[in-house]
Chain A
Amino acid sequence: MLWEVDIYPAVGIVDHLGKKVAADAVQLGLGDQLRVVAARGYLVQGNVDRAQVERIARELLVDTVVEHAVIGCTGDEALNRAPEGTASAVHVLPKPGVMDPVAQSALAAIADLGVPVDAVRTFSKYWLSPLSAEQCQLLCTKSLANDAIEQYIVGPITWPKLELGAPYTFKQLSRPLRDLTDEQLATMSRRDQLYLSLAEMQTIQNYYRDLGRDPTDIELETLAQTWSEHCSHKTLGGRVRYRDEHGTREFKSMLKETIFAATTKIREQLGQDDWCVSVFKDNAGVVTFDDQYHVCFKVETHNHPSALEPYGGANTGLGGVIRDPLGTGMGAKPICNTDVFCFAPPDTPADSLPTGVLHPKRVMNGVVSGVRDYGNRMGIPTVNGSVFFDKRYLGNPLVYCGNVGLIPVDMAFKEAKPGDLIVAVGGRTGRDGIHGATFSSAELTSESEHLSGGAVQIGNAITEKMVLDVLLEARDRRLFNAVTDCGAGGFSSAVGEMGEEIGAEVWLDRAPVKYDGLSYTEIWISEAQERMVLAVPEEKWNELQQLCASEGVEATAIGRFVPTGRLQLKYHEHVVGEVTMEFLHGGRPPVIREAVYAPAPVEPQRLPEKYNWDYTPELLAILGSLNVASKEWIIRQYDHEVQGGSVVKPLVGVTNDGPGDAAVVRPVLTSRRGLVISNGMNPCYGDFDTYHMAASAIDEALRNCIAVGADPRRIAILDNFCWGDCEKPETFGSLVRAAIACHDLAMAWQVPFISGKDSLNNEFRFDGPDGKRQSIAIPPSLLISAMGQIDDVSQAVTMDLKEPGNFLFQVGLTKDEMGGSHFAVTQGLSGGQVPRVDVSIAKQTFVALHNAIVAGLVRACHDLSEGGLAVAVAEMAFAGGLGARIFLHQVPQQVELDAAATSRLLFSESNSRFLVEVRPDQVEAFQQLLAGVPCALVGEVVASDRLEIIGLPQQVEIDDGDATEERAPLVVHAELSVLKEAWQKPLRF
């Protein structure tokens, strides 16, 4: 029997889901007359009678205080009766094979009640009226269901039973390619979603010609996964010839000679004081923290899946990056998350979207809730993040997720040993996420949704939490020799990497599967979530099995590391694939790329030329621009305090809603030592010069860290390059240039990069209205994530103004650097000089400011970034609920004091600057510590509800022109409530 349980909110209880759909309908232009009643429901299959189903509903599924249920067999008249008036029903269900955690939990809980049920599926049900068939289809496809993972049924569910998959019949498949032409090889690469280059296909062809046979399907898939951009980073790690205004530079390996090289040199220079432990090697970069623990940090992207299915893509993006620290060394405990998103503006007109693109607001809602539901369920605080908006992210939103882990000092390294069992722990393997690694290396097109729907996954955070719990216990009992995560490429990548130096045989038929019907190749390359792979010595296997079983975690030996140098794949007694580790990891032909960069000449910029201009409207426009505006709507949905170590929260100030510069957490509750997490990114600068964009991003990440109290000598950073199509020399050139900046700035500051990641090919191809193929590339997007340390968290500083009567100092020089600034962006001004970093003074500035913070001389500190001084002081004032007065003529500067100077002093985005609040009795001590770096008293904190900025003094005519007098105009004057409202309103969803 297939039973259906429809669960409605009881009379008088808010129908949240129905309200949301009605709001979506308004946005889709369906008017505000649509009535929606929503229900959540379960399909329950088994040999059970009505009384049993009613018991399940009452005791498990329905909250009878606030809900009521309608129960019947599918097709039953009672299920098909509209709750009010006449309306048509739409049912939305996850497609078969898509992860449905609620159904899994329901099945287990029903079993625990002792009721014999075979299968459960969940659905949502919507009663809609009045609605035409066309409107219904629009609502279904644009709001209710995402075709990548969900199906919708208009009218009742009439199935007599649920499809549960058919058994798999073994069939060995081979992929004949020895006789193919180059053209046929290229077609094969695309058609089979291998996404290998012709040179790579030819290399494979020659290898198999030498062997005298064709590859099996699983061999070809293994090579495609291992050689994918996603897994091997062949472009950035490859050979490059780069040309710019300084000439030509040849790299044998671009990353090794830029970013890695800087870290290597820094470590050499530090010698005995080297505090890096493991860099660019393991799943996350590891540095020292205290006597007991090291910390590790990794940031990943999950862009392409998030474009197709924002919730699932972002959900598994975070789930995936959490497994990186968990799979680092012998396993680190995840202690905080960070996330950065890039979207097209949420007010993009719906009718302007190319085919295959989801509306940015839908993408944003999905991404935000996907990260929320994974992070919160894992019990890992999300402590820091950013959101950027640019219309070029329309087809390619970016989702960066990061995780920091804590690892005992003697657990930072691992080594699988010959003879160790290969043990899969955690979630079962399903058909989800097939071809994720190769897909992420391809461009998105308007057809991607149909081609690559299988690459989209839905996570189940609780499974991962259970794995985390047993894994750390197993680590402490030393039950394994090595661990890694199952990410892109699934078992194929995890086993291939772990066994690279040894060799492995794998028993694919033993891997636990979610349902029948999976082929051996699907098992091998599935990217089903929540799986880790361990290397377990035979003598520990029993104890590990018992530990896992005791907490309900599945652990299965699926093979053994054997000293053969070969990867042998078996399905029962059949050898379905065999390749040498040497060819798998060393056989890929090098990628050779051309890269060119021609910096654009600095174009003139037309700034307003009035000394007494009232700049308050311009300030309000920047505060209300999407990149600057408050992200409280997102932040509050994320648990940023679980684990109990929160010291500086993402929102700070007198009403807990000002924009903190960086998060401070205390990962060890018995210690006062803290970690500081921040980020820096500014895609607006990349259009001017990616060198200065990268330098500015590093500067921003560092100054955010330093502003809250991090020690500038103990900050580690990560790079994340998200770029367009790097087969285009100009696009790749802009990336290489950014990487060179990373090297130069890391060296100048002695700040090591410890890990990184890239996501290339972020271009969206579609047929335009004129039928021509068009392409949107994302702007160069380099995220720098920083992890600082603070000796004693009681030294931490927040950005909100503290007491009236205190003085305000600007640290750092304001220059004429308005190119790409938010003033220029909001006023539609092109041209100008993009902000650069003066490394000769930046490092000294950071150290001096840090010394003042440690000496307790800083009451508040905020970095100057988007919107410059004016935005920084406005934010500090409304966060602290205190007025401020600033005198522009006192600002330390290097700008031409012409008629346009006012806008520069207010809004220039020069790097390495801070605004600092100091008590009057500590001014002298503060100035002494800051001697030698640009620093000047620029204003004061006042007991008022206003911000006032006094402009440059000018001679003005008085007495009908008979005399002149020096006057300083008020160039900004606004009530704090007005400033704050402008900042809070745009993203208050």
Chain B
Amino acid sequence: MAQPRVLVLRAPGTNCDLETAYAFELAGAKTERLHINRLLEKPAAFAEFQILCLPGGFSFGDDLGAGRILGSMMRSHLADALREFKAAGKLILGICNGFQILVKSGILVDDDPATGLPPVTLTWNDSGRYQDRWVKLRTSSSKCVFFAGIESMYLPIAHAEGKFVPRDGGVLSQLDAAGQLALRYDGNPNGAIADVAGVCDSTGLVCGLMPHPERHVDTTQHPRWTRGESGPVGDGLKIFQNAVAYWN
């Protein structure tokens, strides 16, 4: 299969869908932006796609906590469809709000079997407020297919609730040992435990990250491109290329 099809999921308040679709297209994928209501009407629509992407934004205003409402809807109505999607060895990528949704839906990190609730969360930055700034990142495991061949990246973050927190040290060491804490900040911007910026599931095919790779696919998106510090393409493009390459 040369050109995988990407479903870029839209919901009320999603706002990075266009540029995320554009990044996937630059990487050679075919994309379709679909509203969550279309999937709720017809969960089988997932089957037509090889990659599911949950882009950034404020789904449902993040009114009950970042990603909470859409995460809950996915638990209630799309759990089976998503389980099939994962079982078919397909890829899921959540960026920023998409990462928050994945965490809260239980798709990315398995629920605690005792309580049926997620063992990790993304919560308020230590600063207590939203911030937009660029961060250095390094990968810390080879498990995640999205980060294949990437050692470090320079990408922007833009979030208020991006601090990764596990329930306890046991959860942290378990995820770490499994190689799931795949992306770390070099210079922690939000107080995330263990500098975690991105997480993958136990297969490495489902990934969520707080930074925005779609905001660094073009050379002039780099904050210091006028100083000659950017390459011919942005660091984030490789993530989308990896997703496409997985299908080749």
Contact = CB atoms under 8 A, between A and B. Distances in A.
B61 interface: yes
B244 to A, nearest CB: 18
A864 to B, nearest CB: 20
B69 A60 contact: yes
Interface string B210-248: 001011011011011011000000000000000000000
A372 B128 CA distance: 14
A202 B207 CA distance: 70
B42 interface: no
A13 to B, nearest CB: 8
Given A64-B115, A637-B130, A642 B16 contact: yes
A461 B124 contact: no
A552 B12 contact: yes
A14 interface: yes
B43 interface: no
A656 B223 contact: yes
Interface in A640-680: 640-644, 646-649, 651-654, 656, 666, 669-670
B5 to A, nearest CB: 20
Given A60-B64, A461-B61, A550 B35 contact: yes
B64 A551 contact: no
Given A636-B131, A636-B132, A644 B22 contact: yes
Nearest to B161: A63
B132 A641 contact: yes
A707 interface: no
Contacts of B15: 377-379, 465, 642
A460 B64 contact: no
B117 A105 contact: no
B125 to A, nearest CB: 9
A802 interface: yes
A823 to B, nearest CB: 30
A651 B131 CA distance: 13
A626 interface: no
B63 A105 contact: yes
A379 B16 contact: yes
A298 to B, nearest CB: 21
B131 A637 contact: yes
Interface stretch (A26-34, A229-237, A696-704, A793-801): A793-801
B123 A644 contact: no
B68 interface: yes
Contact of A112 (B57, B72, B126, B134): B72
A666 to B, nearest CB: 7
A16 interface: yes
A153 interface: no
B83 interface: no
Contacts of A666: 218, 220
Given A106-B63, A106-B64, A644-B215, A16 B128 contact: yes
Contacts of B35: 550-551
Contacts of A113: 72, 76
Nearest to B226: A798
B117 A64 contact: yes
A102 B119 CA distance: 25
Contact of B60 (A65, A372, A376, A462): A462
A639 interface: yes
A302 to B, nearest CB: 21
B12 A551 contact: yes
B18 A797 contact: no
B192 interface: no
Nearest to A65: B121
Interface in B79-115: 115
B32 interface: no
Interface in B6-21: 10, 12-16, 18-19
B165 interface: yes
A641 B215 contact: yes
Contacts of B115: 64
A644 B220 CA distance: 10
A582 interface: no
A986 interface: no
Please tell me the size bucket of the interface on A.
Answer: 35 or more
A451 B63 CA distance: 31
A318 to B, nearest CB: 15
Given A66-B121, A376-B58, A551 B134 contact: no
Contact of B13 (A60, A465, A550, A653): A465
Interface in B158-201: 158, 165-167
B54 to A, nearest CB: 15
Contacts of A466: 12-13
A793 B220 contact: yes
B154 to A, nearest CB: 11
B70 to A, nearest CB: 10
B58 A65 contact: no
Given A109-B64, A461-B61, A797 B226 contact: yes
A439 interface: no
A54 to B, nearest CB: 12
A593 B121 CA distance: 62
A462 B158 contact: no
Interface string A618-648: 0000000000000000011111111110111
Given A109-B69, A462-B60, A652 B226 contact: yes
A356 interface: no
Nearest to A650: B132
Interface string A277-318: 000000000000000000000000000000000000000000
B66 to A, nearest CB: 9
B19 A65 contact: no
A59 interface: yes
A796 B226 CA distance: 8
B224 A656 contact: yes
A518 B16 CA distance: 38
A136 B193 CA distance: 37
A16 B124 contact: yes
Given A64-B115, A793-B220, A796-B226, A669 B37 contact: no
Contacts of B220: 647, 666, 793-794, 796
Contact of A638 (B64, B132, B167): B132
Contacts of A442: none
A641 B117 contact: no
Contacts of B123: 13, 63, 65-66
Interface in A947-989: none
Contacts of B68: 60, 63, 109
A669 B21 CA distance: 11
Interface in A80-137: 101-102, 104-106, 108-109, 112-113
Contacts of A802: 226-227
A105 B166 contact: no
A567 B134 CA distance: 55
B111 to A, nearest CB: 11
B227 A654 contact: yes
Contacts of A654: 224, 227
Contacts of B14: 379
Contacts of A642: 15-16, 19, 56, 158, 215
B37 A551 contact: yes
B217 to A, nearest CB: 8
Contact of A20 (B65, B128, B217): B128
B221 A63 contact: no
A101 B63 contact: yes
Interface string A883-910: 0000000000000000000000000000
A58 interface: yes
Choose among B15, B38, B120, B134 the residue with the greatest number of A CB atoms under 10 Å from its CB.
Answer: B15
Given A61-B64, A639-B132, A669-B18, 17 more contacts: A16-B128, A64-B115, A65-B120, A65-B167, A112-B73, A379-B58, A469-B10, A635-B132, A636-B131, A636-B132, A639-B130, A643-B16, A646-B221, A649-B223, A652-B226, A666-B220, A796-B226
7 contacts: A16-B124, A106-B64, A379-B57, A462-B12, A637-B131, A637-B132, A800-B227
What 3 pairs between A and B have smallest CB-CB spacing? Answer: A379-B15, A644-B19, A105-B63
